[in-house]
A and B are shown apart, each in its own frame.
Chain A
Amino acid sequence: MTDLISRLEQRAERMATAERVEQTGTQLALFRRHGVLYGFAVSDVVSAGRVRSLSPVPGAEVWVAGVTLHLGKLLTLIDIPRLWGEVHRGVFDLPSFLVVTNGRAEIGIVAEQVLGMCDIREEISSWKSTPRPGIHGATRFEEENVLVLGARELLQTSPFSGA
Chain B
Amino acid sequence: MDETTSMIRGVFAEEARELVAEIEKAVVRLTEQRDATQRRAAIEAVFRATHTLKGAAGSVGLGEVEGLAHTLETVLMPFRDGSVVAPPPLLRGVLRVLDTIPRHVDSCREVDDEPSLNDARTLLQRLAAGEKVVEPLPTLTADDDGRDRTSTRRKVETSGSESEMLRIPLERISRLDARLDAFRELRGSLLNRVRDAQRLLVNLDSTIASGDTEMLKSLRAMASTSYRTLSAALTEFDGNISDFEDELRVTRLVSFDSVTQRISRAVWEHSESVSKPVRFEVHGPALALDRRVLEELKEMLIHLVRNSIDHGIESKEQRKAAKKSETGSIRLTSSPQGQTVLMTLEDDGQGIDVARVKKVAVDRKIISPAQAEVLSQSDAYELLFAAGFSTASTVSMTSGRGVGLDVVREKIRRLGGRITVTSERGKGTKFELDVPISLATEQVLLVQISGFQLAFPISAVERSFRVDAATAAGLEVTHRGQPLSVRKLSTMLGLPDAGVPERQTPVVVVSAGGRLAAFAVDRMLGEREVVTRPLPTGIVHHKHLSSAMSLGDGSLVFMLNVAWLLGAQLDTQVETKGTLRHRILVADDSVTTRAVHRQTLLKAGFDVETAADGEEAFRTLSTRGAELVVSDVRMPNLDGLGLARRIRSSQRFRTLPVILISSLDADTDRERAVQAGASVYITKGEYQPSELVRVVRQLLGLSSEGT
Contact = CB atoms under 8 A, between A and B. Distances in A.
A90 B538 contact: no
Contacts of B533: 74
A78 B534 CA distance: 18
B661 A76 contact: no
Interface stretch (B128-136, B232-240, B364-372, B644-652): B232-240
A68 to B, nearest CB: 8
Contacts of A56: 452, 595, 598-599
B145 to A, nearest CB: 32
With most chain B CB atoms within 10 A of its CB, the pick from A57, A58, A65 is: A58
Interface stretch (A11-19, A37-45, A46-54, A122-130): A46-54
B687 A160 contact: no
Contacts of B687: 89-91
B544 A69 contact: no
At the interface, is chain B mostly helix, strand, loop or mixed? mixed
B537 A76 contact: yes
Interface string B551-566: 0011111100000000
Interface stretch (B202-210, B423-431, B586-594): B586-594
Contacts of A103: none
Nearest to B687: A91
A35 interface: no
Nearest to A114: B231
Given A76-B539, A89-B688, A91-B596, A58 B661 contact: no
A47 to B, nearest CB: 9
B459 to A, nearest CB: 21
Interface in A21-49: 49
A94 B590 CA distance: 8
A111 to B, nearest CB: 11
Contacts of B458: none
Interface in B251-273: none
Interface residues of B, number: 53
A133 B676 CA distance: 47
A103 to B, nearest CB: 12
Given A50-B232, A90-B687, A65 B537 contact: no
A93 interface: yes
B246 interface: yes
Interface in B531-549: 533-542, 544-545, 548
B596 A53 contact: no
Contacts of B493: 58-59
A64 interface: yes
Interface string B355-392: 00000000000000000000000000000000000000
B537 A163 contact: yes
Contacts of B660: none
Given A69-B239, A72-B245, A95-B590, A58 B556 contact: no
A59 B238 contact: no
Contacts of A1: none
Contacts of B591: 51-54
A58 B454 contact: yes
B450 interface: yes
A51 B538 CA distance: 18
Interface in B553-581: 553-558
A105 B540 CA distance: 12
A78 B538 contact: yes
B36 interface: no
Given A52-B235, A66-B595, A69-B239, 15 more contacts: A49-B238, A51-B592, A53-B554, A53-B556, A53-B591, A55-B556, A57-B558, A59-B494, A67-B536, A70-B238, A75-B536, A91-B596, A105-B537, A107-B538, A163-B540
Interface of B: 231-232, 235-236, 238-239, 241-243, 245-246, 449-450, 452, 454, 493-495, 533-542, 544-545, 548, 550, 553-558, 590-593, 595-599, 661, 684-688
Interface of A: 49-60, 64-76, 78, 89-95, 105-107, 110, 155, 159-160, 162-163
16 contacts: A52-B235, A54-B591, A56-B599, A59-B493, A64-B538, A69-B239, A69-B554, A69-B556, A74-B556, A89-B686, A89-B687, A89-B688, A90-B684, A90-B685, A92-B684, A93-B592
